[in-house]
Amino acid sequence: MVKTSPQSLHFLTHASKDAADWPFYQSMRHTNTKVTVFGNSVSLKYPRRLWLYVVGWPRLFLSGFTLAGQSIQALQPATIVTAHDHMILQAYKIRRFWSLKARRTPHRLVLHGFIFTQRSSQALNILRKIYFGTLFRGVDLIICHSNHEIPNIRTLVNTTKTSVQAVHYGIGEGDIIKAWWSDFQGGKAEPSVHSPLRILSAGRSSRDYASLANAMKLLSSGYACDIICDSYEVAPKAIEGGSVTVHRNVYGHEYTQKILAADIVMIPIAADDISAGQMVLLHALAAARPVILTKTPTSSEYIEDTALTRLVPPANPEAIASAIDDISKLLPLSTDNRNTIRRLFDDKFSDAAHGRTVYRLFSETFALE
């Protein structure tokens, strides 16, 4: 790849409306490169996946089209333009095609945070490969969230000029967890142990809630499990009952409060070939909660199997139950243990840490100064 010295970075994102409040952006402010965020917030909180396709994706595209126009208007030679999802990238490339300025101004194009999932339909897989193969033409760098995914993504790229690199997922802790952590450090929010002990799980992408529900049946009556999932396909009514309660349509502050109310966070993953579960994992680490996570090639890049962060075999209720029982013997956690969990988040997975890693990758790939 021919390296030039970019004058500026453009980030087109649906992660934040206000760059001033985005630690990812703040981590790059003191570099020699001008950084500009073109942001918007688009809700994708739909109980059925069909709604995502019919309503969510068009909203993402229209928002991306607007962000693309703002970026093109501010475009300078050798700018790195980074789209934070493939809908924004698609909108940018379409808008760039019709912009004389964009076609005449040399710049780099990056897709940040790509996950490619195989579908059960072979015909659909072929169509998606054609779509992404076309979309990735002219893209200089694709960033995924685990090294395990790189070979699969490379099959979608039709040129060696496109680099595929992995940067582990990063996330903002949010105001509620940030306030709780400040209180905890000041000795005002020492978490108590609940009776029964509260096990929390959340998310709908590649989840194996059946194994978690079966694990709860193996434990004593001293445990209760809350599952946050608005999809009936992923978390069917059949898994409810006994010590398991499924909560639908829980988002935002209500979701965060349930993280803080949990004694243990358990994330059962069904797929072993894509990144899944990282958002809940990182929220749990930010809230200094002990975590149990299904061991997959991608999840094992994020945490090690320790007393406070357990990795268990896939589809293994017995291992899940054993890990819950082991961690429960450590509760209530000491301040040192809470600090150990939180330090993992701060050092590796916070928005600020993520921003520093992305900037380092840009420096290596595009010769940032």
Q: Answer yes or no: is pLDDT of 105 > 60.
A: yes
Q: Of 97 and 14, which is predicted with more confidence?
A: 97
Model confidence at 4: pLDDT above 60: no
- 18-50 pLDDT, tens digit per residue, is 666 677 777 777 677 888 889 887 666 655 566
> How do the domains of the chain map onto residue ranges?
8-170+350-366, 175-349
The more confident residue out of 201 and 230 is 201
96-to-99, 101, 185, 351, 360 alpha-carbon distances in Å: 5, 8, 48, 29, 27
Q: Please determine, for residue 5, whether its predicted confidence score (pLDDT) is greater than 60.
A: no
Between CA 270 and CA 125 the distance in angstroms is 19
Q: Do domains 8-170+350-366 and 175-349 have the same CATH topology?
A: yes
Question: CATH number of the domain at 8-170+350-366, please?
Answer: 3.40.50.2000
Query: pLDDT at position 244, please?
Result: 96
- Under a CB-based contact definition with an 8 Å cutoff, are residues 262 and 255 in contact? no
pLDDT of residue 191: 63
What pLDDT is attached to residue 50? 60
How confident is the model at residue 361, as a pLDDT? Answer: 93
pTM over 0.85? The answer is: yes
- Measured CA to CA, the distance from residue 340 to residue 48 in angstroms comes to 38
Please tell me the least confidently modeled range out of 51-60, 258-267, 358-367: 51-60
Instruction: Tell me the range of 55-69, 146-160, 323-337 where mean pLDDT is highest.
Output: 323-337
Once rounded to an integer, what is the mean pLDDT over residues 256-275?
A: 90
Give yes or no for residue 1 having a pLDDT over 60. no
Q: Is the pLDDT assigned to residue 128 strictly greater than 60?
A: yes
Q: Which CATH architecture is the domain 175-349 placed in? A: 3-Layer(aba) Sandwich (3.40)
Residue 339's pLDDT band, with cuts at 50, 70 and 90, is very high
Output the 3-class SS for the chain: CCCCCCCEEEEEECCCCCHHHCHHHHCCCCCCCEEEEEECCCCCCCCCHHHHHHHHHHHHHHHHHHHHHHHHHCCCCCEEEEECCHHHHHHHHHHHHCCHHHHHCCEEEEEECCCCCCCCCHHHHHHHHHHHHHHCCCCCEEEECCHHHHHHHHCCCCCCCCEEEECCCCECCCHHHHHHHHHHHCCCCCCCCCCCEEEEEECCCCECHHHHHHHHHHCCCCEEEEEECCCCCCCCHHHCECCEEEECCCCHHHHHHHHHCCCEEEECECCCCCCCCHHHHHHHHHCCCCEEEECCCCHHHCCCCCCCEEEECCCCHHHHHHHHHHHHCCCCCCHHHHHHHHHHHHHHHEHHHHHHHHHHHHHHHHCCC
Q: How confident is the model at residue 284 (pLDDT cuts 50, 70, 90)?
A: very high
pLDDT at 333 over 80: yes
pLDDT tens, residue by residue, 285-329: 999 999 999 999 888 999 999 999 999 999 999 999 999 999 999
